Structure 1
């Protein structure tokens, strides 16, 4: 079976969640109850994230990008992990509930072409989000960037799907994966819901788990 990797961005590739970092730095306090509603599943990810970004003024676009480029830290081992998957011809996809305006600049040094995320528009007073990767007919969770739908579109029936993630936006994808590498919120939720997973903190851990699993699969 061909391994194929679907990897989250915020809090997974990066050490912290960039959306939360932006909200803490630039948004009025109204963002906090919205975020709580998303985590508790009282509102959908698409609705909640859209509402949070609508609190940010479009005129601050360059300031937002500069802030994240200065403060974002890449998780240990990611550069080596990307080299490993490229050397072994393993398809690697970034699938993220984050926004194009900061994901692509942050990932530019790694020469990654396959990135699925949401699009932020700055054509009005406040930021407006477009959702080019919405749920397909098999998902009704109003995900925004629907990771299971993307997986169904890309992976074939004989592919061994690997999900790497940390948050609520990765949960539905984890339920569909053959191998789940999880940390933080996703790890705790996998434990609570009985989803088989391997915990990680660095991408060195991810590589070790991948090598071990693929060796067993052989």
Structure 2
């Protein structure tokens, strides 16, 4: 039986050209944010802890500034609309699996025909003195990485005997998911990981290249 294809696509630095969380921190410059980013990248603290602590540095009194900046700062990577159209034509399930936050992920993606239930990201709470990140998609009992938004949990929801699993990503939030995927489209830090582990990966700069490679994969089936 031919497996159905499912794509798990990262948001920050993948769908978008820039990493929104880092861009927000660079813009508002809360004290200590850069050290937290380094600790997440070097894996000395978990993604969940790092992202949670970064946003806790920002007072909720600046809520609207933070939201406006995060949405207006986004640039979508070339070929994204075309990839969504290709997935529709080919009956490929397209999921956004993002370590980003709801207050910028949902507004940005509202311009595209992606069902809300196919978008996975972290949540936010502005009711206290500082921004609190909440975790509606935390790790299951098979993951102990404190991912925050656990991509491997979502990937495991699509069994490998029935689904050909394709991950598109760029950084530390994609590392564990890449190990479970049949094929990885990688940028930035994720390329190094794929090389180190000998994973089946293709580097890409835009989504037109992803479509071309998916077409080639069709021809070789």
1:13 is aligned, of 9, 15, 18, to 15
Q: Distance in 1 between matches of 2:53 and 2:36?
A: 7
Where does 1:99-114 land on structure 2 (aligned, <5 Å)? Answer: 99-113=101-115, 114=118
- Superposed CA offset, 1:14-35 (max 9, x none): 0010000000011323001111
Asked if the contact 2:11/2:97 (under 8 Å) is kept, the reply is yes
8 A contact 1:5–1:91 mirrored in 2? yes
Q: Does 1:165 align with 2:169?
A: yes
Partner of 1:45: 47
1:57–1:154 Cα change, 3 Å: farther
1:196, distance to aligned residue in structure 2 (A): 2.1
Aligned counterpart, 1:131: 135
Number of aligned residues: 217
RMSD: 1.1
CA–CA distance in structure 2, aligned partners of residues 56 and 105 of structure 1 = 20
Cα deviation for residue 170 of structure 1 reads 0.3
Unaligned runs of 5+ in 2: none
Structure 1 consecutive aligned stretches of length 4 or more whose deviation exceeds 6 Å:
none
Counterpart pick for 1:24 among 13, 23, 26? 26
Contact 1:4–1:155 (CA under 8 A) maintained in structure 2: no
Q: Scaled by the length of structure 2, what TM-score is found?
A: 0.95
